[in-house]
Amino acid sequence: MSASTTVAAPLSTPPLGGPSLPQERRLVTSIPGPRSQELLDRKADAVASGVGHTVPIQAVAAGGGVVVDADGNSLIDLGSGIAVTTLGNAHSKVVAAVQAQVAQFTHTCFMISPYESYVAVAEALNRITPGDHAKKTALFNSGAEAVENAIKVARKYTGKQAVVAFDHAYHGRTNLTMALTAKAMPYKSGFGPFASEIYRAPLSYPYRDGLSGPDAAAKAISLIEKQIGAGNLAAVIIEPIQGEGGFIVPADGFLPTLVEWCRANDVVFIADEVQTGFARTGSMFASEQFGIIPDLITAAKGIAGGLPLAAVTGRAEIMDASHTGGLGGTYGGNPIACAAALAAIDAFENDGLIERANEVGEILTGRLTALQAADPRVGDVRGRGAMVAAEFVHPETKEPDAALTAAVAKACIADGVIVLTCGTYGNVIRFLPPLSIPDALLNEGLDIVASALAAQ
Ligand SMILES: *Cc1c(COP(=O)(O)O)cnc(C)c1O
């Protein structure tokens, strides 16, 4: 097949409402091909070097379980653009909702002239987030912005200032969220000074700390009480499963113990579900996996099928603590993004996507666990639903093996499979496939991962 920007003939039955792209891995050039390379050269000249990329292609179409590049290569997508296109790229319900809205009006600014879709998204989030207490929502543009606003709201409500984040945390790249994020390179190095009154507590990391959930929580709580004091603490913020930090699933009892301590000490418990939200973990929100009801939840990534939207949802009395005009932004809750979110939430609730996340998770966990049994360099396989990772180590010492991880990821991409790495030590490959991926394609992607590992 020759290199071309034309994509091949449509499939008659696209999976789960995506565009009609052939669901196949197809390499017609090496990666990057000439057209992709041309774009990467322009990028190097025109785009700030600080904005990196993982997969050296020029994307021209995506849907189901593939991303197609300008050279005609079709890559298996095991990353969903970092857990964003959970529904599948260009999902038909999202496309229709966006097309209808964009022809109606594109912006009024919700703080100037309110419109219905913003309110409907707030109602939907108040309904589908954990807990049946009275809730309210505010909408923003990015995960980092949602996190910033959750902290603002918690400080205003409690009249306190300190905030606790955890080891291996990732909460974004703005100034306050850099302070909350645990990893220096590439997220913080040289970008200080950082916001004050941010403290860091130890996480539960069962593969490495060997502690029970309650014991790990007791360690964190002791540090908080000794070094900060509950009387000064506005909020504890934590990802129920660490995302960028390595898909670390805390031991049973860790999160419930923290929530209970927060309740007893007038501290707002914020679950940062920007990566874990919207069916990804096999429930609508990961908090449900651990039996916790957060005071506030931040959401973004999967919320709107790829359009930029973010939210803070939580207890009405906390969300209402801010004076009018204290929260908002020019674009927050843009009507096109809200239309997309309503379509996406409809699909999450009514098209069997939670069940599908669990099916995808069974395939991922089954295949990766088999790999672990056969190869001691796969130290740990962990996750929930369709959010699963493998941690690579030197078998004798369990020391992180970042070089092996990078080599496996690079080989996968060269062979037409998009995988993402993560982890404080850079030794984790995370799997976040779109739920629209056909089983056969997912299995083929995992075959490539296995052979990439075997070749190292
Ligand atoms: C991605 C992410 C963020 C930041 O979201 P942006 O939209 O990139 O600002 C915050 N928290 C978590 C848990 C994330 O995964």
pLDDT tens, residue by residue, 235-269: 999 999 999 999 999 999 999 999 999 999 999 99
Is ligand 1 within 6 A of the CB of residue 423? no
Closest CA to 435 of 90, 80, 12: 80
Same domain, 221 and 284: yes
With bands split at pLDDT 50, 70 and 90, how would you rate the model's confidence at 20? Answer: confident
State the Cα–Cα distance between residues 221 and 283, nearest whole angstrom: 28
Same domain, 151 and 223: yes
CA distances from 81 to 67, 293, 449 (A): 10, 28, 18
Is ligand 1 within 6 A of the CB of residue 170? yes
Closest CA to 246 of 203, 305, 201, 288: 203
Q: Which residues contact 42 (CB under 8 A, 6 or more apart)?
A: none
Single-letter amino acid, residue 185: M
With bands split at pLDDT 50, 70 and 90, how would you rate the model's confidence at 4? Answer: very low
Per-residue pLDDT, 16: 56
Same domain, 297 and 417: no
Ligand 1 centroid to residue 144 C-alpha, Å: 6
Asked whether residue 7 carries a pLDDT value surpassing 50, the answer given is no
| Residues 204/216, Cβ–Cβ less than 8 Å | yes
387-394/428-431 β-pairing: antiparallel
Per-residue pLDDT, 3: 41
With bands split at pLDDT 50, 70 and 90, how would you rate the model's confidence at 439? Answer: very high
**Helix-then-strand count for the chain, H and E:** 14, 16
CATH code of the domain containing 314: 3.40.640.10
- Rounded to the nearest integer, the mean pLDDT of the chain is 96
Residue 416, domain member (yes or no): yes
What are 393's strand-pairing partners?
400
Asked whether residue 401 carries a pLDDT value surpassing 50, the answer given is yes
Ligand 1 centroid to residue 243 C-alpha, Å: 9
Residue 414: Cβ-neighbour burial (10 angstroms; 0-12, 13-18, 19+): middle
| pTM score, whole prediction | 0.96
- Percent over 70 (pLDDT), the chain: 96
Q: Which residues contact 204 (CB under 8 A, 6 or more apart)?
A: 211, 213, 216, 217, 248, 250, 251, 254
Asked whether residue 6 carries a pLDDT value surpassing 60, the answer given is no
Residue 170, classed as helix, strand or coil, is coil
Is ligand 1 within 6 A of the CB of residue 295? no
Per-residue pLDDT, 14: 45
| Domain boundary residue, one of 294, 325, 350 | 350
- Looking at the structure of the chain, the number of domains it has is 2
Residue 236, classed as helix, strand or coil, is strand
| Domain boundary residue, one of 318, 350, 382 | 350
| Residues 183/424, Cβ–Cβ less than 8 Å | yes
Question: Domain span at residue 386?
Answer: 4-77+352-454
Same domain, 316 and 216: yes
Same domain, 48 and 104: no
State the Cα–Cα distance between residues 265 and 201, nearest whole angstrom: 17
Per-residue pLDDT, 12: 39
Same domain, 100 and 232: yes
Q: What is the pLDDT of residues 105-159, one digit of tens each?
A: 999 999 999 999 999 999 999 999 999 999 999 999 999 999 999 999 999 999 9
Is ligand 1 within 6 A of the CB of residue 171? yes
Backbone angles phi, psi at 115, to 5 degrees: -140, 165
**What value does the mean pLDDT take over residues 50-76?**
97
Instruction: Give, using CA atoms, the residue closest to atom 10 of ligand 1.
Output: 171
Closest CA to 418 of 21, 186, 83: 83
Ligand 1 centroid to residue 275 C-alpha, Å: 7
Q: What's the chain's Rg over C-alpha atoms?
A: 22
Please tell me whether the peptide bond between 32 and the residue prior to it is cis, using omega within 30 degrees of 0.
Answer: yes
Residue 86, domain member (yes or no): no
With bands split at pLDDT 50, 70 and 90, how would you rate the model's confidence at 11? Answer: very low
**What value does the mean pLDDT take over residues 299-308?**
98
